[in-house]
Copies of this chain bind each other. A is one copy, B any other.
Amino acid sequence: MSRFDSYFLMKPSDVVEYAREKLDFFAPDSVLEGKEIGDGNINYIFRVWDTKSGKSVIIKQAGHTARISDAFVLSTDRTRIEAEILQLEHDLAPGLVPLVYKYDDVMSTCCMEDLSDHVIMRAALIQHQKFPRFAEDISTFMVNTLLLTTDVVLDHKKKKAMVKSFINPELCEISEDLVYTEPFNNYNNRNIVFPPNQEWVEKEIYNDKQLLLEVAKLKFEFLTHAQSLIHGDLHTGSIFIKTDSTKVIDPEFAFYGPMGYDIGNVVANMIFAWANADATMSDGTEKDDYIGWVEKTILDVVDLFIKKFNVAWQKNVTEVLAKVPGFQEWYLQTVLSDTAAVTGMELSRRIVGLAQVKDITTIADEKARLRAERICLLSAKRFIMARETYKSGADFLKTLKDVAAAL
């Protein structure tokens, strides 16, 4: 019998005993300490470490309600989804996600590698730090987790079992509302809009009927296109990074959706980094150097994805009709069109919506922020409206630079 045989929400004083009893991780003579380090809205994050050896572990526990409010009831099944996805992503893209040591269904915990030596990428980008390995790592992560979970590669019956296992209604609903609806019509009257841009947003976004029609089509693609096991929230706040390591975390939004959703999120978040640097850095070598790295990263994320996608396709395709001449090129182009569209969706919803990004909200100068927001939103419209014309990293970068140059 153990007091951890039935569920309760742990305190830091509980978690040391929990780690010692339930994890085969620390030495018997270790001297453990524990602390709650989470700052998200939903889960509790404990760090437990051995003061003798320095070894440490992260224990993530799900409550039956969200951390911020007991009124917000959530299924603890999200912990199972996260643990299973991380293990699957580890198999597909070794080294690019934290290791999972244990998933505990009773206590709703996922115990995993401590990444305290990494930083959250968004915070580092706002400080204009460069990560030369990022495009290489994230393109590998995306090709491996996305292409290898499609019907192109997987046995179709196995793929259907995975679709079933990762149906994720609660989290998908958040994306359906906050990404695919509200930024374009303020439907729930809870959009946040930077006041100096309010009038411009109403004219250029809310009143653009053609844009809204294309968004509607894209929403139905998100709702119905069970293509790949996507991460579902692959922004720079879901990436732990240091110079020689990239780790994708927090796959709780994962489900079978269009793979362009993940790629477009990465591209859009690099555009936020560009817009931040453009707005906040003083002209000179340092700025040129940093902007140059961001631009090269945008190019490389797309072009390395394409290159590795084509290699992985040749190596892994099992579906006989996917080998028909012309199909690979057609399929890749649909992925790039989706990528462009989602780049536009993410750019829109982070400027006009409930979930803003610090890359933009921390721009102190009002005129500079106004310009940065319009760069993002006007690029977004081009990405969405002309999505079928994007074929390379250069096409993505050109939209950003053309829009910025014209403002």
Contacts and interface: CB of A to CB of B under 8 A. Distances in A.
Nearest to A160: B169
Given A321-B219, A324-B213, A169 B156 contact: yes
A325 interface: yes
Q: How many copies does the complex hold?
A: 2
A315 interface: no
A176 interface: yes
Given A220-B151, A225-B225, A227-B224, A212 B169 contact: no
A327 interface: yes
Nearest to A188: B320
Give the size category of A's interface with B. 35 or more
Nearest to A213: B326
B185 A156 contact: no
Interface in A106-162: 151, 156-157, 159-161
Nearest to A217: B330
B226 A224 contact: yes
A321 B151 contact: no
A305 interface: no
B327 A217 contact: yes
Q: Which of A161, A180, A219, A227 has the most CB of B within 10 A?
A: A219
Given A216-B327, A224-B226, A330-B213, A320 B156 contact: no
Contacts of A151: 220, 223-224
Nearest to A152: B220
A385 interface: no
A213 B324 CA distance: 6
Interface in A160-197: 160-161, 163-164, 167-170, 172-173, 176, 180-181, 185, 187
A331 B217 CA distance: 8
A359 B167 CA distance: 42
A322 interface: yes
Contacts of A164: 164, 167
Contacts of A307: none
Given A217-B330, A327-B217, A157 B173 contact: yes
Contacts of A213: 324-327, 330
Nearest to A322: B216
Contacts of A220: 151, 321-322, 331
A398 interface: no
Nearest to A184: B321
Q: Which of A156, A168, A217, A223 has the most CB of B within 10 A?
A: A223
A326 B215 CA distance: 12
15 contacts: A156-B169, A156-B176, A159-B223, A160-B167, A160-B169, A163-B163, A187-B320, A213-B324, A213-B327, A216-B327, A217-B330, A220-B321, A224-B225, A224-B227, A225-B226
Given A161-B167, A216-B324, 14 more contacts: A151-B223, A151-B224, A157-B173, A181-B320, A181-B321, A212-B324, A213-B324, A216-B327, A217-B330, A219-B319, A220-B322, A220-B331, A224-B226, A226-B226
Interface of A: 151, 156-157, 159-161, 163-164, 167-170, 172-173, 176, 180-181, 185, 187, 209, 212-213, 215-217, 219-220, 223-227, 319-322, 324-327, 330-331
